[in-house]
A and B are shown apart, each in its own frame.
Chain A
Amino acid sequence: MSKQIKVALIGNPNTGKTSVFNALTGLNQKVGNYPGITVDKKEGVCKLSRGVKAHILDLPGTYSLNASSLDENVVIELLLNKKDKDYPDVALIISDVENLKRNLLLFTQIKDLKIPAILVINMADRMPKKGISLNLEILEYELKTKVALVSTRKNDGIQFLKKLIENFKTLSTEPCLDTSTIDEEYFANLKKAFPNQDLYKLWVVISQDANFGKIDRNSVNVSRFKTKTKSELKRLQQKETIKRYQFINEILKVGQTVDKSKATDLRSKLDNILTHKIWGYVIFFWILLTIFQVIYDWATIPMDLIDSSFALLADWVKTTFPGGGKLTNLVAEGIISGIGGIVIFIPQIAFLFLFISVLEESGYMSRVVFLMDRVMRRFGLSGKSVVPLISGTACAIPAIMATRNIENWKERLITILVTPFTTCSARLPVYLIIIALVIPEGRFLGLSYQALTLMMLYLIGFGMAVLSAYILNKILKTNYKTFFVIEMPSYKIPLLKNVVLTVLEKTKTFILEAGKIILAISVVLWILASYGPSKNFNDAEVIIQKSFPALTGEVLDNKIAAYKLEHSFIGRLGKTIEPAIRPLGYDWKIGIGVITSFAAREVFVGTLATIYSVGSSSEDNDKTIKNRMAQEVHDNGDKVFTLASGISLLLFYAFAMQCMSTLAIVKRETNSWKWPIIQLLAMSLIAYVIALIAFQILK
């Protein structure tokens, strides 16, 4: 077995850490989760010379070893635990050449943990433009390390970096700062209490109490050493920061020269427009409109293609394996239609992730946060809530994870609670099919009624999110202080490789996660619809033939199938809840769709497809779900899908919390069942009441 060198990538956000990761690993990477938490764990393999391989771990971005979020905490947990299987042999500290001073703060901290550390200075191609020159020998000498100048954009320096990784054993592990100089007395006492421990490590463990406080203390029990209050500890952390900056400033005085006259100032030119009091907002809304336009315009072509391919596939299965065996039916009616319902989202989701990753990579997203902070604060949100609310239009799950960089817990909690109101892509197929059924064709000011309805639904979603945030802000009492610090990174042209990898990765995750649920539900549903508890179900043929002796052929088959469905397990469930949903304009079949949707909303269309195809004989010529739905009638002959019931259903789906995965994420992110349960009950109640009102007015 060849030996692998374990490498950890560490660095500030916006330093191009991901680009370095991509440059080292290429496509040899995978994203998983750290056990028990939803922080993405990106790993990859990099081939060095002579068959040696490096296992590369891309750690979440952090400004220092003082964690203020779950993501940052991951970095510290790992670096403090020598027994962790991912504990690095060598750390690469990725830094941005334009901001070396600040990046070195983290570098000196890692170095003081006595982990062999290489300083990687990224974006070196920008040096001439910014008038920066570096004396690498001095930097290497003073920091007691090796420095790699890298430009991932030009693919420079990567080979050299690989060489350094290979020779990591030659790196010095001498610390940069003598920890005890921060406060002689305090650290002398600490040393006395724990004579066998590394002083800086102890200090990092202790100071986490003042910050995030979730360090696993298996190795050291520091709780008995409590000589300082929280605010005193914070003062010590301030002192540490100042000491480190003094050290860094001394080095950079000789190691770095900046000729400001050579610097071209793209930032102030762009920010004069993009963060302008008026133009900034105009441009932001224009970008948003473009995104939605493109998603609906461009995505329809591949979506139609996928739709027809899956219909063909289902047909093919039925004709190739005739005889209508149970298994064939399960595959054709349950699984293929269920999977098709997910795959059809790929184009839209991919486009959405494409735009979001371009906005983030370019540095524009931070400007949006800056522009929107004041407005959002009025509703108890933060400027940083804009990012989750925008990415919530793709999927609430990554959106809720994106709330992690909101410093203030109350603002973060409110953002988590209201994000599921934004129209995620799973609502889209429900909206599309119902709009096509009940909203008439025709145009208003050149825009089709159907497109306008869809747009209204998006606005209603955002409106509801903001309104509930406002109400939550009034209800929730907290003593948390508002903290808001956001770095405004320099503008960059997004790297194609990064964007493509992000889109691939996120789309794949979404499809797999949602696919699992849908597949399971399709199968369960199909079974529940194909079997029944009572005699009525098993003797359907006899009963129908007795009641309607005149019927023959296809009409008879249809009657039997419908009777069977009504008396199947799922039919009885639907009938049981029918009284509760009648006032909303739904029949028991829609009721089944609504129930199964509580697992995941996108199941709705698939459920109805399954129910209607089980409920009719297979000789139907007109097989599209839409046509079957349009033909559905109540017992008294009235149509099931009218304008009133359609609108009621649209509003129900706009507001109801129908996504188990989101609830699971909310549970993890808030670390309690309280919030997801409140969310589920409140949103469902709102959905029910509004759908009820809408139907009663419109009918």
Chain B
Amino acid sequence: MSLTIADLKKGERAIITDCSSIDIPLKLLEMGCLPGNVVQLFQVAPFRDPIYLNINDSFVAIRKETAALILIDMINE
């Protein structure tokens, strides 16, 4: 099973591999959530929802259900 942004732990970084789900709002893509870009989990609210991300140097908060649609490859640091 592949990892999604919802699996990230605080401070972890990953590369976005796929965000083609039709349920991902276009606005998020426009903010830089596109394959190949780096995403980092910056902060989480209680119950890990919503989550606060740094995507491609844009800082955005999204809900867990949206995060679970975006596939990633972990960056091992």
Are these two chains actual partners, yes or no? yes
Tell me how far the C-beta of B43 lies from the nearest C-beta in chain A, rounded to whole angstroms: 5
Give the chain A neighbours of B26 by CB distance below 8 A: 64, 66, 68, 211, 234, 237-238, 241
* Complex Cα spacing A63 to B25, Å: 13
**B27-51: contact bitstring with A at CB < 8 Å (1 yes, 0 no)?**
1111110110000001101110110
Known contacts A101-B32, A370-B61, A488-B59; A63 and B27 CB within 8 A of each other: yes
Tell me how far the C-beta of A123 lies from the nearest C-beta in chain B, rounded to whole angstroms: 14
* Complex Cα spacing A198 to B62, Å: 36
A-B contact pairs, 11 of them (CB 8 A): A63-B30, A64-B30, A102-B32, A102-B57, A231-B22, A241-B34, A242-B35, A374-B45, A374-B47, A383-B50, A487-B31
A382: nearest residue on chain B (CB-CB)?
B63
Which A-B residue pairs are the 7 nearest by beta carbons? A488-B59, A483-B25, A370-B61, A484-B63, A64-B30, A486-B61, A485-B27
* Complex Cα spacing A138 to B50, Å: 39
A106: nearest residue on chain B (CB-CB)?
B30
B23: nearest residue on chain A (CB-CB)?
A481
Residues B50 and A101 in contact, CB atoms below 8 Å apart: no
Give the chain B neighbours of A483 by CB distance below 8 A: 25, 27, 66
Residues A277 and B30 in contact, CB atoms below 8 Å apart: no
A105 at the interface (CB under 8 A from B): yes
**B51-73: contact bitstring with A at CB < 8 Å (1 yes, 0 no)?**
01000111111110110000000
B63: nearest residue on chain A (CB-CB)?
A484
A275 at the interface (CB under 8 A from B): yes
CB within 8 Å of B: which of A352-379?
A: 366, 369-371, 373-374
A276: nearest residue on chain B (CB-CB)?
B43
Known contacts A99-B58, A484-B50, A486-B61; A370 and B45 CB within 8 A of each other: yes
A557 at the interface (CB under 8 A from B): no
Known contacts A373-B45, A373-B50; A245 and B34 CB within 8 A of each other: yes
* Complex Cα spacing A490 to B54, Å: 12
Residues A482 and B61 in contact, CB atoms below 8 Å apart: no
* Complex Cα spacing A482 to B67, Å: 12
A267 at the interface (CB under 8 A from B): yes
* Complex Cα spacing A271 to B61, Å: 13
Residues B52 and A275 in contact, CB atoms below 8 Å apart: yes
**B10-26: contact bitstring with A at CB < 8 Å (1 yes, 0 no)?**
00000000001011011
What does DSSP make chain B's interface, helix, strand, loop or mixed? mixed
Q: Which of B25, B43, B61 contacts A407 (CB 8 A)?
A: B25
A155 at the interface (CB under 8 A from B): no
Tell me how far the C-beta of A153 lies from the nearest C-beta in chain B, rounded to whole angstroms: 20
A300 at the interface (CB under 8 A from B): no
Residues B30 and A241 in contact, CB atoms below 8 Å apart: yes
Tell me how far the C-beta of A255 lies from the nearest C-beta in chain B, rounded to whole angstroms: 15
Residues B42 and A486 in contact, CB atoms below 8 Å apart: no
**A467-491: contact bitstring with B at CB < 8 Å (1 yes, 0 no)?**
0000000000000011111111110
Give the chain B neighbours of A487 by CB distance below 8 A: 31, 58-60
Residues B32 and A245 in contact, CB atoms below 8 Å apart: yes
CB within 8 Å of B: which of A259-291?
A: 267-268, 271-272, 275, 277
* Complex Cα spacing A487 to B50, Å: 12
CB within 8 Å of B: which of A443-459?
A: none
A244: nearest residue on chain B (CB-CB)?
B30
* Complex Cα spacing A268 to B52, Å: 11
Residues A370 and B32 in contact, CB atoms below 8 Å apart: no
Give the chain B neighbours of A99 by CB distance below 8 A: 57-58
B28: nearest residue on chain A (CB-CB)?
A485
**Residues on A facing B (Cβ under 8 Å):** 63-64, 66, 68, 98-99, 101-102, 105, 211, 231, 234-235, 237-238, 241-242, 245, 267-268, 271-272, 275, 277, 366, 369-371, 373-374, 383, 407, 481-490
Give the chain B neighbours of A238 by CB distance below 8 A: 20, 26, 29
Residues A271 and B49 in contact, CB atoms below 8 Å apart: no
A275: nearest residue on chain B (CB-CB)?
B43
Tell me how far the C-beta of B75 lies from the nearest C-beta in chain A, rounded to whole angstroms: 15
Residues B60 and A101 in contact, CB atoms below 8 Å apart: no
Give the chain B neighbours of A231 by CB distance below 8 A: 22
Known contacts A245-B34, A370-B52; A488 and B61 CB within 8 A of each other: yes
Give the chain B neighbours of A277 by CB distance below 8 A: 45-46
* Complex Cα spacing A238 to B58, Å: 18
* Complex Cα spacing A99 to B56, Å: 9
Tell me how far the C-beta of B34 lies from the nearest C-beta in chain A, rounded to whole angstroms: 6
Q: Which of A102, A268, A482 contacts B42 (CB 8 A)?
A: A268
Residues A485 and B45 in contact, CB atoms below 8 Å apart: no
Give the chain B neighbours of A485 by CB distance below 8 A: 25, 27-28, 31, 60-62, 66
Interface centre among A105, A231, A374 (most CB of B within 10 A): A374
* Complex Cα spacing A619 to B58, Å: 70
Give the chain A neighbours of B50 by CB distance below 8 A: 370, 373-374, 383, 484
Tell me how far the C-beta of A131 lies from the nearest C-beta in chain B, rounded to whole angstroms: 12
Give the chain A neighbours of B22 by CB distance below 8 A: 231, 234
* Complex Cα spacing A543 to B21, Å: 83
* Complex Cα spacing A265 to B47, Å: 26
Give the chain A neighbours of B47 by CB distance below 8 A: 374
Give the chain B neighbours of A234 by CB distance below 8 A: 22, 26
A69: nearest residue on chain B (CB-CB)?
B27
Give the chain B neighbours of A211 by CB distance below 8 A: 26
Tell me how far the C-beta of A691 lies from the nearest C-beta in chain B, rounded to whole angstroms: 38
A65: nearest residue on chain B (CB-CB)?
B30
B65: nearest residue on chain A (CB-CB)?
A482
* Complex Cα spacing A102 to B56, Å: 9
* Complex Cα spacing A105 to B58, Å: 13
Residues B29 and A241 in contact, CB atoms below 8 Å apart: yes
A109: nearest residue on chain B (CB-CB)?
B30
B35: nearest residue on chain A (CB-CB)?
A242
Residues B27 and A68 in contact, CB atoms below 8 Å apart: yes
* Complex Cα spacing A246 to B60, Å: 21
* Complex Cα spacing A369 to B50, Å: 10
Tell me how far the C-beta of A212 lies from the nearest C-beta in chain B, rounded to whole angstroms: 11
Give the chain B neighbours of A267 by CB distance below 8 A: 59
B55: nearest residue on chain A (CB-CB)?
A102
* Complex Cα spacing A237 to B34, Å: 13
Tell me how far the C-beta of B66 lies from the nearest C-beta in chain A, rounded to whole angstroms: 7
Interface centre among A211, A241, A485 (most CB of B within 10 A): A485
